Amino acid sequence: MVMGVEIESERFLANRVLVDGISVTYKLLSRKLDVSISDAKKLLYGFYQSNKDKVAPIYLIAGYGYSEGSEGLKTGLTVRLIRDASKLEEVKAKFDKIESIQVFALLPLQNDISELNNVIQTNNDEAISLAALDDKNYVKWGYISGISYTEEISDDVQGKSQAALVAESKLSPAVKQPVTAKKHDLAKEKESPQPTKKQNLGEDTKSATPEPAKKPFVYVSRKNQQAQQQQQQQQQQQQAPASRPSNRNVPAAKTHPVYTSRKIKPDKVVISNDVDENEDDDMEVDDIPKKTKNAKNNKDLLSLFDDDFDDEENADHTSKSQPIMVSSETVKDEKEDLDDQMDVDNEDIPNPRDEILENQQEEEEEEEPEQPKVTTEYDEDGYLVTKANKKPEKKPEKKQAQRKKTQTASTNTNNGGPHNTNKKKQASLMAFFGKK
Amino acid sequence: MTSDFLVTYDESSSDNKKSSTGMKRNVSFEPTDYKNKNLYTLPKSSRAFNRQFNSLYFHRLNLLRQRLVRKCEEVWGNDFVDGQTPQYVERILDTESNRPCYIIGTIFSDLKYKPNVLKEVAQNMYGAPPPPPESYSDPDEDQFMIEDESGRTVLEGDFLRKTLLVTGNVVGLLGAEIKSGIFEVVDICYPDAAPQLPRQITNEKFSERTNGNKIAFVSGLGINPADLDIVKLELLKNFLIGEFLLDDSKKITRLVIAGNSTAISEINQDRQEDLKSKYRGANKSNFSSEAIQILDGFLQEILVSLPVSILPGESDPAEIAYPQAPLHQSFFHNNKKYLKTNQLNRLTNPAWLEVDGWRILGTSGENITDIFKYVVPLSKIQNAVEENQKHNGAEEVAKIVNENQGELLTLCQEDSRIPILESTMVWQNIVPTAPDTLWCYPYDDSDPFTLEETPHVYFAGNQPKFETKMMNLPVDNTGEKNYSIRLISIPRFDVSGQIVLMDTDTLECEVVDINCV
Contact assessment for residue B250 and residue A144, using Cβ atoms and an 8 Å cutoff: yes
Residues of A whose CB is below 8 A from B303: 149
Residue type, B361: L
Tallying the residues shown for chain B, one arrives at 517
Contact assessment for residue B141 and residue B379, using Cβ atoms and an 8 Å cutoff: no
Q: Which of A87, A116, A142 sits opposite B19 (nearest CB)?
A: A142
Q: Which pLDDT value is given to residue B310?
A: 94
Q: Which of A100, A141, A156 sits opposite B32 (nearest CB)?
A: A156
Contact assessment for residue B349 and residue B466, using Cβ atoms and an 8 Å cutoff: no
**What is the least distance, in Å, from the CA of A362 to any CA of chain B?**
35
**Given an 8 Å threshold on Cβ–Cβ distance, is B340 in contact with A144?**
no
Instruction: For residue B300, give the chain A residue with the closest CA.
Output: A133
Q: What is the DSSP string of A358-414?
A: HHHHHHT---PPP-PEEEEEE-TT--EEEEEE-PPPPHHHHHHHHHHHHHHHHHHHH
Residues of B whose CB is below 8 A from A78: 512-515
Helix count (H) and strand count (E) of chain A? Answer: 21, 7
**Given an 8 Å threshold on Cβ–Cβ distance, is A49 in contact with B341?**
no
Q: What does each C-alpha distance from B385 to A379, B399, B413 come to in angstroms?
A: 56, 10, 13
**What is the least distance, in Å, from the CA of B243 to any CA of chain A?**
6
Tallying the residues shown for chain A, one arrives at 436
Residues B392-425 as b/e (b if ≥16 CB within 10 A, e otherwise) read eeeeebeeebebbbeebbbbbeeebbbbbbbbbb
Q: What is the DSSP string of B455-475?
A: -SEEEEEEESS-EEEEEEEES
Lowest mean pLDDT among A99-108, A188-197, A414-423: A188-197
pLDDT (mean) for B222-239:
87
**Given an 8 Å threshold on Cβ–Cβ distance, is B305 in contact with A283?**
no
pLDDT (mean) for A247-270:
39
Q: What does each C-alpha distance from A199 to A176, A193, A209, B465 come to in angstroms?
A: 21, 10, 15, 53
Instruction: For residue B23, give the chain A residue with the closest CA.
Output: A144
**Given an 8 Å threshold on Cβ–Cβ distance, is B337 in contact with A172?**
yes
How many Å separate Cα A142 from the centre of its chain?
32
Q: Which of B8, B248, B340 sits opposite A77 (nearest CB)?
A: B248
Residues of A whose CB is below 8 A from B244: 60, 62, 79, 100, 102
Contact assessment for residue B441 and residue B199, using Cβ atoms and an 8 Å cutoff: no
Q: What does each C-alpha distance from A309 to A259, A304, B29, B33 come to in angstroms?
A: 31, 10, 58, 50
Instruction: For residue B318, give the chain A residue with the closest CA.
Output: A383
B114 vs B371: CA distance, rounded Å: 12
**Given an 8 Å threshold on Cβ–Cβ distance, is B23 in contact with A382?**
no
**Given an 8 Å threshold on Cβ–Cβ distance, is B3 in contact with A45?**
yes
Is the predicted pLDDT of residue A331 greater than 80, yes or no?
no
**Given an 8 Å threshold on Cβ–Cβ distance, is A144 in contact with B306?**
yes
**What is the least distance, in Å, from the CA of B321 to any CA of chain A?**
13
**pLDDT (tens digit, 9 = 90+) per residue, B315-372?**
899 888 899 999 998 999 888 888 888 889 999 999 999 998 899 999 999 999 999 8
Contact assessment for residue B259 and residue B219, using Cβ atoms and an 8 Å cutoff: yes
The ipTM (two decimal places) reads 0.80
pLDDT (mean) for A192-209:
38
pLDDT (mean) for A163-189:
36
Q: Cis omega before residue B350 (within 30°)?
A: yes
Contact assessment for residue A92 and residue A61, using Cβ atoms and an 8 Å cutoff: yes
Q: Which residues lie across from A389 on neighbouring strands?
A: A373
Is the predicted pLDDT of residue A197 greater than 70, yes or no?
no
pLDDT band at B145 (very low <50, low <70, confident <90, very high): very high
**Given an 8 Å threshold on Cβ–Cβ distance, is A75 in contact with B513?**
yes
B485 vs B280: CA distance, rounded Å: 48
Q: Which pLDDT value is given to residue A103?
A: 87
Q: Cis omega before residue B323 (within 30°)?
A: yes
Q: Which of A341-345, A381-385, B1-5, B40-44 has the highest mean pLDDT?
A: B40-44
B9 vs A99: CA distance, rounded Å: 8
Residues of A whose CB is below 8 A from B280: 302
B311 vs B259: CA distance, rounded Å: 5
Instruction: For residue B293, give the chain A residue with the closest CA.
Output: A267
Interface test with A, best of B213, B340, B345, B468 (most A CBs within 10 A): B340
Interface test with B, best of A42, A58, A75, A77 (most B CBs within 10 A): A77
Half-sphere CA count of A392, side-chain side, radius 13 A: 18
Is the predicted pLDDT of residue B187 greater than 80, yes or no?
yes
Q: Which of A47-56, A191-200, A416-425 has the highest mean pLDDT?
A: A47-56
Report, in this order, helix, strand and coil percent for chain B, each rounded to 5: 30, 25, 45
A269 vs B299: CA distance, rounded Å: 22
Q: How many other CB atoms sit within 10 Å of the CB of residue A152?
A: 19
Is the predicted pLDDT of residue B280 greater than 60, yes or no?
no
Is the predicted pLDDT of residue B184 greater than 60, yes or no?
yes
A175 vs B199 pLDDT, higher one: B199
Q: What does each C-alpha distance from B107 to A146, B172, B495 come to in angstroms?
A: 49, 10, 35
Crossing angle of the two packed helices B394-403 and B406-413, in degrees rounded to 10: 100
**Given an 8 Å threshold on Cβ–Cβ distance, is B305 in contact with A271?**
no
Contact assessment for residue B333 and residue A267, using Cβ atoms and an 8 Å cutoff: yes
In sequence order, which residues have a C-beta less than 8 Å from that of residue B236 and are 6 or more positions away? B218, B493, B499, B514
Residue type, B152: R
Q: Which of B22, B498, B501 sits opposite A143 (nearest CB)?
A: B22
**Given an 8 Å threshold on Cβ–Cβ distance, is A133 in contact with B301?**
yes
pLDDT band at B383 (very low <50, low <70, confident <90, very high): low
Is the predicted pLDDT of residue B195 greater than 50, yes or no?
yes
Residues of A whose CB is below 8 A from B336: 271, 274-275
Q: How many other CB atoms sit within 10 Å of the CB of residue A139?
A: 17
Q: Which pLDDT value is given to residue A163?
A: 34
**Given an 8 Å threshold on Cβ–Cβ distance, is A60 in contact with B244?**
yes
For chain A, percent of residues with pLDDT exceeding 90: 0
A199 vs A373 pLDDT, higher one: A373
B167's enclosing H/E stretch is none
Q: B38-43 long-range CB contacts below 8 Å, 24 or more apart?
A: B39/B352, B39/B448, B40/B323, B40/B348, B40/B349, B40/B350, B40/B351, B40/B352, B40/B448, B41/A382, B41/B323, B41/B325, B41/B348, B42/A382, B42/B323, B42/B325, B42/B441, B43/A382
Q: Which of A98, A117, A276 sits opposite B340 (nearest CB)?
A: A276
Instruction: For residue A49, give the chain B residue with the closest CA.
Output: B1
pLDDT (mean) for B397-403:
60
Instruction: For residue B339, give the chain A residue with the closest CA.
Output: A275
Sketch out chain A's domains with CATH numbers: 3-141 (3.90.1030.20), 149-208 (no CATH), 220-389 (no CATH)
Contact assessment for residue B362 and residue B461, using Cβ atoms and an 8 Å cutoff: yes
Residues of A whose CB is below 8 A from B307: 146-147
Instruction: For residue A376, give the chain B residue with the closest CA.
Output: B45
Residues of A whose CB is below 8 A from B517: 80-83, 87, 91
Of the candidates B478, B474, B469, the one whose C-alpha atom is nearest the C-alpha of residue B500 is B469
Q: Which pLDDT value is given to residue A144?
A: 80
**What is the least distance, in Å, from the CA of A43 to any CA of chain B?**
8
Ramachandran sector of residue B116 (left: φ over 0; alpha: ψ -120 to 50; beta: rest) = beta
A63's enclosing H/E stretch is strand A55-64
In total, the C-beta contacts within 8 angstroms joining chain A to chain B are 225
Residues of A whose CB is below 8 A from B248: 77
Ramachandran sector of residue A34 (left: φ over 0; alpha: ψ -120 to 50; beta: rest) = left
Is the predicted pLDDT of residue A299 greater than 80, yes or no?
no
Q: Which pLDDT value is given to residue A174?
A: 34
Q: What does each C-alpha distance from B340 to B18, B301, B307 come to in angstroms?
A: 31, 18, 12
Contact assessment for residue B282 and residue B335, using Cβ atoms and an 8 Å cutoff: no
**Given an 8 Å threshold on Cβ–Cβ distance, is B340 in contact with A141?**
no
Q: Which pLDDT value is given to residue B468?
A: 92
**What is the least distance, in Å, from the CA of A130 to any CA of chain B?**
14
Is the predicted pLDDT of residue B493 greater than 70, yes or no?
yes
Q: Greatest CA span in chain B, whole angstroms?
A: 89
Is the predicted pLDDT of residue A420 greater than 60, yes or no?
no
**pLDDT (tens digit, 9 = 90+) per residue, B10-68?**
344 433 333 445 578 888 888 888 888 888 998 877 788 888 888 899 899 999 998 99
Residue type, B19: S
Residues of B whose CB is below 8 A from A271: 330, 333, 336
Q: What does each C-alpha distance from A9 to A24, A33, A101, A405 come to in angstroms?
A: 11, 7, 21, 80
Q: Which residues lie across from B492 on neighbouring strands?
A: B219
Residues B94-124 as b/e (b if ≥16 CB within 10 A, e otherwise) read ebeeeebbbbbbbbbbebebbeeeeeeeeee
Q: Which pLDDT value is given to residue A429?
A: 62
**What is the least distance, in Å, from the CA of B375 to any CA of chain A?**
27
Q: Which of A37, A76, A379 sits opposite B243 (nearest CB)?
A: A37
Q: Which of B228, B306, B326 sits opposite A146 (nearest CB)?
A: B306
